[in-house]
Amino acid sequence: MERIARRRDLQARADAERAAGHRIALVPTMGALHAGHLSLIETARGHADRVWVSIFVNPTQFNERSDFESYPADLEADAAACEAAGVDLVYTPAVEDLYPEHSQSWVEVDELTRSLCGAGRPGHFRGVTTVVAKLFLAAKPHVAVFGEKDFQQLAALRRMTSDLGFDIEVIGSPTVREADGLALSSRNVRLGSVAREQATVLVRSLEDAERALQAGERNRETLLEIVKARLSEAPLAEVEYAELRDPATLAEASARLVGPTLLALAVHFPADPEGRGSSVRLIDNRIIEREEEADAPVRNVSSTLLEERP
């Protein structure tokens, strides 16, 4: 497995691979790799001849400097995991390589980043879209793979890729979950034991809403009440949002649900009462729709986000 740290070297490698007729897939990460990241690598392998992983803790997407400084970093362990997964190349740029001194340029997606996570994290998505644009220009991939757990991020990156004319296919990979259903995240290890036990309330609330919809409930507010009732069963849970949204535009879902609908959650868990663990923000989501109304082109909306509608 090759390791490259400088952007100019990666661009030269990309030019050589393209000239040889090889198809490149890029999996952008911030390290702290887990099984969810490995599933992205596996997805990428099915769409390209070469799989590249970038490992870069992006300072511009953190709202708090302390969160950036405390982000878990073990480059050697991550590189070993990539090599074991059959990755062909790992890109590990320094901050100054992607953000030269006096950098003033940003890439920002407007409407899609205003709600949900964007409402409470000003500047976060601007940092994400800017760094991914830089990674695209450095790696020159044919394909880029991102997790569907970060649904709003995936939507914004698809829109950016389309709006700026990047000739790159953006692929969403399904959320990987732990045995009890909790969506895999590098943050899960920071949960105290009590909070970790209660954190499964997120996936249970998604399941409750889906069951209610399948049983015939279509009222948006009733479904949200069902979700919030389940979330309230976790005493430590502090709900940031629980919303039903159009999966293509992220606009609020209609009062009576029609077609596939995104149910998105963000919940904070503080340290356990005994002081174990630390404050953690978890997100999760699911596309819900009535089974008898589903057809293949629409049911796959989570992996074909932001295609132009007629």
Closest of 162, 7, 158, 194 to residue 91, by C-alpha:
7
89's tokens: 């190349």
- The Cα–Cα gap between 14 and 275 comes to 48
Q: Is 37 a catalytic residue?
A: yes
DSSP track, 235-274:
TT-EEEEEEEE-TTT-PBPPSB--S-EEEEEEEEE---TT
User: DSSP strand E in 95-201: where?
Assistant: 143-147, 169-173
Q: Compute CA 128 distance to the chain's CA centroid, rounded to the nearest angstrom.
A: 10
DSSP track, 85-104:
TT-SEEE---HHHHS-TT--
Residue of 34, 37, 47, 142 with catalytic role: 37
Active site residues: 37
